Amino acid sequence: MNPDAAISYTLGELAERVEARLVGDANQRVGALSTLTDAGPGDLSFLANRAYLKHLAGTHAGAVLLHPEHAASCPCAYLELDNPYLGYAKLSRLFDPLANRTSRGVHPAASVAADAIIGQAVEIGANSVIESGVEIADGCVIGPGCFIGADSVIGRDSRLHANVTLYHGVTIGERAILHSGCVIGGDGFGFAHDGRQWEKIAQLGGVTLGDDVEVGSCSSIDRGALGDTRIGNSVKIDSQVQIAHNVQIGDGCALAGCVGIAGSTQVGRNCLLGGGVGLSGHLTLTDGVQITGMSLVTNSILEPGVYSSGTGSMPNGLWRRNAVRFKQLDDIAKRLGRLERDIRES
């Protein structure tokens, strides 16, 4: 526990927040979250993965979030609930120092256009630039070094960490979190070739992000060529993700690191894309599709379910032999077809 921490809660308050059954003193206070192995008497810990059950009996935590089946092994007070990881997620925000910090106002080194509309309790960090026509709603935090392009709109209680770039005409919903280095509204990759060189296509659309969207560091969401690139509500985007122009992503999707989505692809609601997944352009993924890591999708997926492509890792020698076999598959299939036909005719 941090001795300087000003944040603390009673176990009764925390149990009420997550609708947990408390076994222990409701007035006992905790001031931090910690792992089972690192926690002290003033800390709250959690057990959400059976792999860490071995650490429960020896923990020094003041209290533990856990599933009822593990209660008998807990040496301290505990908050019992069916989904301890979800409970941990909800309580983690109570202990976040950024979430509990009061606004520091507009830094004197920030540049804010005279006609920009700035709401109440907005913080704008040093060296940030807010261009003409921008609207920033109440409770937003714009970190140092951010650039907010002309006519962009940011919904209430959103947070832009340091050095986020919003090009012109970008709309961000409420309670968004944009991490350092992400770029929203850059030009889509649009060019026409005349036989000798490339002619750039002006990207005339924008980008719209829904409410409760989070975008990881160094991710890019390109503006539309004509209409907007649209990201739905509660979409979670990891770091180093590329979303091309005119992509549409439905509510509740989650994209892990290094996902790449080519232009004009439509992803339905509640889809999960694992790390390194690539989606070709002009595809449609229906609701409830899960793509496992490092898969390449080149055709639309119109039925919900789990999809994979590629091969798992294996010793290099075996992989090289299999690579040779891959090249022979077409010939083998043709020979097998001829053999089956000869058997039928014989």
CATH entry, 9-95, from 3.40.640.10, 3.40.1390.10, 3.30.540.10, 3.30.470.20: 3.40.1390.10
Q: What is the mean pLDDT of the chain?
A: 95
Note the residue count of the chain: 346
Residue type, 9: Y
- Residue 4 confidence (pLDDT) above 50: no
Inter-residue contact 203 to 221 (CB < 8 Å): no
Burial of 189 (0-12, 13-18, 19+ CB in 10 A): middle
Burial of 191 (0-12, 13-18, 19+ CB in 10 A): exposed
168 is catalytic: no
Q: Which CATH superfamily groups domain 111-307?
A: Hexapeptide repeat proteins (2.160.10.10)
Does the pTM of the predicted model rise above 0.85?
Answer: yes
Q: Which of these is catalytic: 70, 107, 193, 245?
A: 245
Q: What is the mean pLDDT of residues 112-139?
A: 97
Query: What is the Cα gyration radius of the chain?
Result: 26
Q: Tens digit of pLDDT for each residue in 205-253?
A: 999 999 999 999 999 999 999 999 999 999 999 999 999 999 999 999 9
**Secondary structure (3-state) at 339:** helix
In the chain, what is the greatest distance between 2 CA atoms, to the nearest angstrom?
Answer: 91
Q: What is the pLDDT of residue 326?
A: 87
- The domain locations on the chain are 9-95, 111-307, 321-346
In whole angstroms, what separates CA 239 from the centre of its chain? 8
Cβ neighbours of 326 (radius 10 Å)? 9
